[in-house]
Amino acid sequence: MGKQLKQPFQERKIFTERIMVSVIIVSLVFLLLLSRYFYLQVIHHQTYSDQAEQNKFKLSRIDPTRGLIYDRNGVLLAENITTYKLQITPEKVKNPNQKLLDIQSIVSLSDEELTQIKEQLKYNPVFKPLTIKAKLTEQQVAQFVVQKHQYPGFNIEPYLNRKYLHPIEFSHLLGYVGKINQAEFDRQDSAIYANDDYFGKTGIEKYYENLLHGTPGQLITEINAQGKQLSQEIQKPPINGANLNLTIDLQLQKATYQAFGEETGAAIAVNPLNGEVLAMVSKPGYDTNQFIYGISQSNYNALATSNEKPLFDRSIKGGYEPGSTIKPYIALAGLYNQVITPEYTMFSNGYYQFSKKKRRYHDWKQGGHGQVNLVNSLAESVNVFYYDLAVKLGIDKIHAFLDPFNFGRLTGIDISGEKQGILPSRQWKQANRDMIWFPGETVITGIGQGYFVITPVQMAQALSILASKGQVSPLHLVKKDPQTNSLPFQIKAAHWDTVHQGMISVINAPNGTARVIKSADYLIAGKSGTSQVFGKSEKDIYKKNNELPKHLRNHALFIAFAPAEQPEIAVVVVAEHGSSGTKAAAPIAKKIIDSYMQATYPKQQNMAELTDE
């Protein structure tokens, strides 16, 4: 075979083409790199410069300290204690779900907690620590420190959290804080709240959340390329929450709770001269501390399903007929409207009856009380006197007179959850029942029955006005300058005195229905009442309440103020299913007043000394 001839021209052509292709490829790569460089260094220079700076300086939140709560004498009621929480930073954990299972060798997480954490991880920024367990024990903290190298991205942080020093007695009044939920978080300013913050759920804690919470600060931390912390500086200091000084007296609050013994119900003690609430109790209470870190489902179910309803705040939400405790106000309405005079008398034969009507409205005393005047009508709680007076007044005048005493309206007291109550009228019934008003409904309104509904806090406001002879001081729980007004109408001093004398006679007259609580040391004015739980037929009207099952017995009410001539304390008591205001509620009121008077006047003074001051 012959030797292959070279083709120099063809070879140069191929070589040139390859060079050109290479030059084009290199040029394209260079242009691509140049455009990327331009993109990074010119177009997005500021963005990446900021990111680089953030890699060097990390901003973190400094939690504010929640404000403390004190009683009127500066005694601490709610404090903050140091505890520890376990947090996860998602971006530093390769398999968060698996690690959450692994770490249960140190801290146990229920299925409910795991589900909640996994849900929060969906919305939590990956760089932001998320709390997965609060209130760690010392043993858990020590165990984690030993095994920390196995859990990169997990960390333990100290923090301050709430503790209630008298949780049972103050359970409804102070309320409690708990971990903020998503709905609450969405309503707050994200610059102030984090999604693992604690938030006021009920009571004072909820009402004053904005004051108590405070404003977080910012901490700037310098970190090198290896992640080592170089320095820290507070960029913005936190503003701690404000402290609250309540009008409540701790010792009186405890005495009020204990005064109930085995009874359930509510009691409120106020200063009628300035509207300060001295004690406010709903019994039974519950341990609010167990709600802070998340109460177990079984413990919550036990509270929620209890027949005694410990979670229900009777003092501001409980609705009761005022019963005979309304009689002093009806008497005052009769005097003001000149329907009766202080000297007016009538004969009580045991029932009231409209002309040509069969129905009888019975007195509590079978056979009646005979001839009675206004003072005796209160002392003996004569139903027939107030049936007749209510009819003489008419429902329109009754409603117009009682409305400024705050019946049927919110008091506006500074606590969350207050219910309104009902002051019945023609307009109310038409709007709420789509029915006209009947004369018989006026009759029973005179003794606080029918559609009439009060809450203990509403009655406390009304009693404050009655005790102070027309001075309207809005009830409040946090100390502030008093705001005092007057009723929109003028009531004669003689009329106030007559009604007060009737209430004094309830306790101090030989025929008074609550004479068993008469004090030898000071003068008490009061009025008992019963709130019907269910209606009785006419033939069963005199059937004794203690013959009925407990849950069907009437609620027992008592209102009182002392010293009667210069009131310093006014008390409202509701003893649920207590049957008799005199037997169940009045002794509770007496214990509360005794506690106040003994603390205020430690050396025994006689009645004359107190009332002559």
Residue pLDDT, tens place only, 374-431 = 999 999 999 999 999 999 999 999 999 999 999 999 999 999 999 999 999 999 999 9
pLDDT tens digits, one per residue of 352-362: 888 878 888 88
Tell me the pLDDT band of 40, cut-offs 50, 70 and 90. Answer: low
**Does residue 8 sit within a domain?**
no
Both tokens of 464, joined, read: 């404050």
Residue 531 sits in a domain whose CATH number is: 3.40.710.10
Closest CA to 326 of 397, 434, 220, 402: 402
Looking at 226, 245, 264, the residue that finishes a domain is 245
Residues 444, 587 share a domain: yes
Tell me the pLDDT band of 539, cut-offs 50, 70 and 90. Answer: low
**Does residue 338 sit within a domain?**
yes
The dihedrals phi and psi of 469, each to the nearest 5 degrees, come to 60, 50
Residues 449, 426 share a domain: yes
pLDDT score, position 543: 58
Residues 269, 239 share a domain: no
Residues 355, 239 share a domain: no
* 35 classed as catalytic: no
Q: Does the pLDDT of residue 579 top 80, yes or no? A: no
Percent of the chain with pLDDT over 90: 57
Residues 262, 180 share a domain: no
Residues 177, 122 share a domain: yes
pLDDT score, position 580: 79
Strand ranges inside 224-339, DSSP E: 229-236, 244-245, 265-270, 277-283
Total tally of structural domains belonging to the chain: 2
Q: Which residues contact 199 (CB under 8 A, 6 or more apart)?
A: 177, 178, 179, 180, 181, 184, 188, 193, 209, 213
Both tokens of 182, joined, read: 């998503």
**Does residue 50 sit within a domain?**
no
Residues 267, 224 share a domain: no
Q: Which domain holds residue 463?
A: 250-301+313-612
Asked if 528 contacts 558 with a C-beta cutoff of 8 angstroms, the reply is yes
Decide the pairing of beta strands 76-88 and 69-70: antiparallel
Residues 277, 227 share a domain: no
Count other Cβ atoms within 10 Å, centred on residue 17: 10
Residues 336, 211 share a domain: no
Average pLDDT over residues 480-498: 93
- 282, 315, 324, 377: the catalytic one is 324
Residues 351, 270 share a domain: yes
The dihedrals phi and psi of 177, each to the nearest 5 degrees, come to -105, 155
Residues 321, 429 share a domain: yes
**Does residue 45 sit within a domain?**
no
Residues 337, 205 share a domain: no
Dihedral (CA of 414, 595, 562, 76) sign: negative
Q: Does the pLDDT of residue 334 top 60, yes or no? A: yes
Asked if 560 contacts 570 with a C-beta cutoff of 8 angstroms, the reply is yes
Does this model's pTM top 0.85? My answer is no
Percent of the chain with pLDDT over 70: 91
Q: What is the mean pLDDT of the chain?
A: 88
**Does residue 515 sit within a domain?**
yes
* Residue whose token pair is 């993109």: 39
